[in-house]
Amino acid sequence: MINKVIEIAKKAGEEILKIYDEDFSIVSKDDNSPLTKADLLADEIIKSSLAESFEFPIVTEESYVEYEVRKNWQKFWLVDPLDGTKDFIAKNGGFTVNIALIEHNKPILGVVYVPVSGDIYSATLNGGAFKNGKKIYNNSKRKNLIATDSNFHSTKAVLEFFEKYGITNIQKFGSSIKICKLAEGIVDVYPRLNGTKEWDTASSHIIANEAGCKLIDIVTKKELVYNKESIKNNFFIASRDDLEFSLC
């Protein structure tokens, strides 16, 4: 299954890159977030390809399904066809294709494809995390922590978090690349103290978990969960398993 999902992510990524090299138009969605034809094309490619190969229902950023329809789903695909549209528009390469399989409110399979670099991150439950077919794990024991922050979505609260914990080495990445860099051991912590949706985090979440990391909801103090009534995530802190943080 994982190999098929990787193939689908790459197929969508190839089409995204064709548009990336063009002059493309941008429209604003109802929440004022940007939308390009690359988002829509990737969405159609992924949905049709998943439907051809698997029987599970599909939720994507561009094809939202209301809670009343999905609330009893035990297993479904959760997809962000182009995560990091602002990075795509800025042409900085920091965007991804995210495909996750959710079962009982947790991701059990995740693929994150970075079209510009060609990097493919993947994981299955209890099967380990991989980058380009090579197993990855965050074995860092650094005391001088390295953090990551968003190219476009940093906040005052995030900067205060860094100051509180004396973190001065901060590397910026786009989209779900941040959590993948955590899984690789490139960084140690990623505080996300503003809005994300479930499709933003699901695929990289299992990659992080399988690589010795966690995504802790600052409200519940537990791992993020999926298929909630609200598709919005609470703020969270992603980090190595051996680290503990608070916002108090």
- What predicted TM-score, i.e. pTM, was given to this entire model? 0.95
220 exposure class (CB count in 10 Å sphere: 0-12, 13-18, 19+): exposed
Give the whole-angstrom CA distance, residue 131 versus residue 123.
9
Looking at every residue in the chain, the average pLDDT score rounds to 94
CA–CA dist 235, 196 (Å, integer): 8
Q: How many residues does the chain have?
A: 248
Which pLDDT tens digit goes with each residue over 27-81?
766 665 667 889 899 999 999 999 999 999 999 998 899 999 999 999 999 999 9
70-123 confidence digits (pLDDT tens): 999 999 999 999 999 889 889 999 999 999 999 999 999 999 999 999 999 999
Strand partners, 134: 131
Largest CA distance in the chain: 50
Q: What's the angle, vertex CA 3, arms to CA 18 and CA 92, rounded to 5?
A: 35
